């Protein structure tokens, strides 16, 4: 419930356990728990149900993570990265914080949309694997389970992305890889620095096929 958000992190041990406990977490580092910035932070935490929010006013914790007071930091496991948002600039409010989280919440499998696209482009992982598929298909939950399992195997190496072929905003991705809707589902792998790519159309998503496709490209 929102009453439990954000969770208070009183010491380094609490903070480390909290941060390692999920794919994506957000921690607000503040000096004064009663400040207006903290109330905006609480507001943002209430809006994003599926992300855990923590709050710390402990000087030891702030020093441990090398942050200044009034910083909101998103920690993510997929590329062992973090993103900092400075709350000292006067115009940062719950709205901007929510956008910051939505943009940077990359997961083991990140669903591609105009907001997450920005975070995807900024990720330190330069290899992106896309599963381009119809989310409305009855086979979708099973495909996602297999794709998620494969993502675990390439954690820190390849960013796994889900592209819903039903969204109009994703049509240009389908055409970028020279695919037609009739050929989906398909896997597309893309190396951002030189735009090298490969495509594989498949009837069924299996961990082995995803693994083979990735390994071939990596070699």
- The predicted-structure confidence for 32-91, as pLDDT tens digits, reads as follows 999 999 999 999 999 999 999 999 999 999 999 999 889 999 999 999 999 999 988 778
Residue range 78-130, pLDDT digits in tens:
999 999 999 887 788 899 999 999 999 999 999 999 899 999 999 999 999 99
Strand order in the sheet with 52-56: 7-8, 52-56, 24-29, 71-76, 81-86
* Both tokens assigned to 71: 């910083």
- Residue 3's pLDDT is 53
Show the tokens assigned to 124: 């330190």
Provide, rounded to the nearest whole percent, the portion of the chain with pLDDT above 70: 98
User: Rounded to an integer, what distance in angstroms lies between the CA atom of residue 48 and that of residue 50?
Assistant: 6
Confidence at 1, pLDDT banded by 50, 70, 90: very low
CA distance 173 to 31: 44
15 in Cβ contact with 27 (< 8 Å): yes
Confidence at residue 176, expressed as pLDDT on a 0 to 100 scale: 95
Alpha-carbon span 98 to 78, nearest angstrom:
20
Contacts of 197 (CB under 8 A, 6+ apart): 177, 188, 189, 190, 191
Does 2 have pLDDT greater than 50?
no
pTM above 0.85, yes or no: yes
Cβ neighbourhood burial of 169 (10 Å; 0-12, 13-18, 19+): exposed
Sheet architecture: strand order including 186-191: 109-111, 158-164, 127-133, 186-191, 196-201
């Amino acid at each position: 419930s929102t009453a439990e958000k954000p969770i208070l992190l009183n010491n380094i041990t609490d903070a480390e356990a909290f941060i390692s406990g999920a794919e994506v977490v957000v921690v607000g580092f503040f000096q004064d728990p009663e400040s207006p910035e903290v109330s905006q932070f609480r507001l943002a935490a209430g809006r994003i149900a599926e992300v855990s929010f923590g709050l710390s006013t402990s000087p030891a914790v702030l020093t441990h993570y090398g942050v200044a007071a009034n910083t909101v930091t998103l920690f993510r496991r997929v590329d062992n990265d973090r993103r900092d948002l400075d709350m000292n600039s006067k115009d940062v409010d719950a709205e901007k914080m929510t956008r910051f989280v939505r943009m940077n919440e990359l997961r083991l499998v990140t669903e591609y949309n105009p907001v997450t696209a920005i975070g995807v482009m900024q990720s330190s992982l330069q290899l992106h694997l896309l599963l381009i598929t119809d989310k409305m298909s009855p086979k979708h939950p099973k495909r996602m389970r297999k794709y998620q399992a494969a993502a675990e195997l390439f954690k820190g190496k390849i960013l796994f992305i889900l592209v819903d072929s039903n969204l109009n905003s994703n049509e240009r991705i389908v055409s970028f890889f020279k695919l037609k809707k009739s050929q989906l589902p398909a896997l597309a792998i893309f190396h951002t620095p030189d735009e090298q790519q490969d495509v594989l159309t498949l009837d069924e998503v299996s961990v082995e096929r995803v693994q083979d496709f990735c390994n071939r490209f990596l070699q």
